[in-house]
């Protein structure tokens, strides 16, 4: 799929679910308007960026398209670019900064497309479609966060379709960060990787039943705990996660064979979405995902076969998702 088709799929998801984003979409610009506004930049806009702004000129009122970030109208892109260049003239990295290279913080060819209170997702206009999408937080060095703009839109689309981004009961856009970052790292193998953000457990209890089944309860705080269930053969058969007494996620495991499992994950926050993940059990007990389906109210929203090469994008590596799903009971 192209950049535009991935972007349109994100917009279509918002329309289908009647989210607040729909009312905040600005109409697209005519080519002459784009050229007029882009003349204030010291470089030409890549054709694909022009096409985006012909489709929609960003969002009104800083409405978030994903997480907290809005799609900046082209006029604001120019204004934010000029402000960033002005601030970069007087900026000096702190003595204890991880790098003293000024181009790690700002380059004159960087173009901010998505923003939130001074934080940006940017592309390098000099590289065009080959540019990574950089994530810059305040005055920190920018990180390559997505392999390219097409990968960024595909990742955002997947996060919505697989329930990593969702609207809560108050229609506030929320995020399952671990799931979203797992998708990002899976779909963007050349970009920044984060260490595990899972908190350290403060207590574990193991309950053994006469029939050989077991329940391992792990507390991360007084309000947050996870129950993991194991069959008589010590293979994992389910998991439930609780916050403040509420069940927020429930997983069940169906073993199709000795080395294949289907995991059904129910997200019980906001939109009630269910994801079915089928994968191969590797030698170390983890699961290598091969197929993903996402449902809402028994209606399939999304299906992806990860065994097929993604031939339409500039990426030669195979899609894969190594999901931590131990096949044997860990020691408490």
pLDDT value of residue 321: 37
Domain boundaries, the chain: 3-187, 203-323
To the question of domain 3-187 being in CATH 3.40.1580.10, the answer is yes
Residues in CB range of 30: below 8 A, 6 or more apart: 54
Q: Please indicate, yes or no, whether the overall pTM of this predicted structure exceeds 0.85.
A: no
Task: Write out pLDDT tens, residues 269-321.
Answer: 655 678 888 888 887 777 788 888 877 667 776 677 777 644 344 433 333 33
pLDDT value of residue 320: 32
Q: Where are the beta strands (DSSP E) in the chain?
A: 25-27, 56-59, 64-66, 69-71, 110-116, 119-124, 133-136, 143-146, 165-167, 173-175, 203-208, 214-219, 224-230, 236-243, 246-257, 260-267, 273-281, 287-296, 299-305, 322-323
User: Within the chain, which residues score under 70 in pLDDT?
Assistant: 1, 195-199, 269-272, 296-297, 301-302, 308-332
Task: Write out pLDDT tens, residues 233-260.
Answer: 989 999 999 988 889 889 999 999 889 9
């Amino acid at each position: 799929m192209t950049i535009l088709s991935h972007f349109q799929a994100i917009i279509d998801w918002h329309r289908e679910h009647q989210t607040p984003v729909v009312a905040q979409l600005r109409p697209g610009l005519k080519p002459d308007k784009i050229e007029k506004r882009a003349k204030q930049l010291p470089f030409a806009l890549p054709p694909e960026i022009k096409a985006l702004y012909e489709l929609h000129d960003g969002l009104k009122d800083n409405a978030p398209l994903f997480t907290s970030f809005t799609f900046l109208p082209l006029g604001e892109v120019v204004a934010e670019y000029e402000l960033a260049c002005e601030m970069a003239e007087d900026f000096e990295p702190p003595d204890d900064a991880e790098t003293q290279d000024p181009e790690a913080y700002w380059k004159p060819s960087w173009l901010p497309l998505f923003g939130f209170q001074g934080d940006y997702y940017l592309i390098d206009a000099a590289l065009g479609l080959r540019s990574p999408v950089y994530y810059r937080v305040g005055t920190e060095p920018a990180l390559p966060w997505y392999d390219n703009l097409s990968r960024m839109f595909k990742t955002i689309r997947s996060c919505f379709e697989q329930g990593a981004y969702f609207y809560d009961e108050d229609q506030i856009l929320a995020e399952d960060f671990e799931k979203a970052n797992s998708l990002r790292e899976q779909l963007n193998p050349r970009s920044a990787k984060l260490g595990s953000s899972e908190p350290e457990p403060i207590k574990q209890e193991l309950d053994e039943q006469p029939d050989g089944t077991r329940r391992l309860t792990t507390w991360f705080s007084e309000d947050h705990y996870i129950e993991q269930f194991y069959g008589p053969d010590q293979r994992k058969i389910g998991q439930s996660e609780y916050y403040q007494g509420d069940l927020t996620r429930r997983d069940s495991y169906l073993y199709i064979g000795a080395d294949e499992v289907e995991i059904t994950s129910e997200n019980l926050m906001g939109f009630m979405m269910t994801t079915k993940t089928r994968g191969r059990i590797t030698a170390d007990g983890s699961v290598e995902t091969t197929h993903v389906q996402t449902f809402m109210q028994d209606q399939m929203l999304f299906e992806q076969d990860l065994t097929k090469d993604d031939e339409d994008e500039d990426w030669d590596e195979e899609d894969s998702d190594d999901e931590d799903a131990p096949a044997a009971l860990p020691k408490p």
